[in-house]
Amino acid sequence: HPYIYKITFATANESSALFIRPFSEKGTLKDLIYKAKPKDPFLKKYCNPKKIQGLELQQIKTYGRQILEVLKFLHEKGFPYGHLHSANVMLDGDTCKLLDLENSLLGLPSFYRSYFSQFRKIN
């Protein structure tokens, strides 16, 4: 799918898995929002709220549509994706591409599991 970020190498064994993707100079959607450089350390990138900026309306429309299209594609294929957040959306030019689709295959809990588990009727 054009909105899924490619994996260049993958391997797994009984206790671990490794996935390698190409480096992106633009970084993630979170990097764009925080005006951060992808190679900077985590604390330097995300712990200075003075640098946070919003997105332009056209960016929100474009990125939102691309994310919804890939989520619809995954849903139609019966593939669960519970790790949607700004750090799992890679920017490739003016295109968003989802990362970490393999998390559900590896049995990792959803990013939002703690929020869902607060509600009794949601399993």
> How does pLDDT run across 42-90, given as a tens digit for each residue?
888 888 767 778 899 999 999 999 999 999 999 999 988 888 999 999 9
- Indicate the pTM of the whole model: 0.82
Mean pLDDT of the chain: 87
- 122, pLDDT greater than 80: no
How confident is the model over 85-106, as a mean pLDDT? 90
- What pLDDT does residue 116 have? 62
CB 92, CB 26: distance < 8 Å: yes
How confident is the model over 9-23, as a mean pLDDT? 91
Query: Both tokens of residue 69?
Result: 């299209």
When pLDDT is cut at 50, 70 and 90, the band that residue 102 belongs to is confident
Question: Could you give the percent of the chain with pLDDT greater than 90?
Answer: 48
What 8-state DSSP symbol labels residue 62?
Answer: H
How far are the Cα atoms of 16, 30, 91 from residue 86, in angstroms, in the given order? Answer: 25, 5, 10
How far are the Cα atoms of 6, 86, 102, 110, 120 from residue 105, in angstroms, in the given order? Answer: 16, 21, 5, 11, 25
Delineate the domains of the chain, giving CATH numbers in brackets: 9-117 (1.10.510)
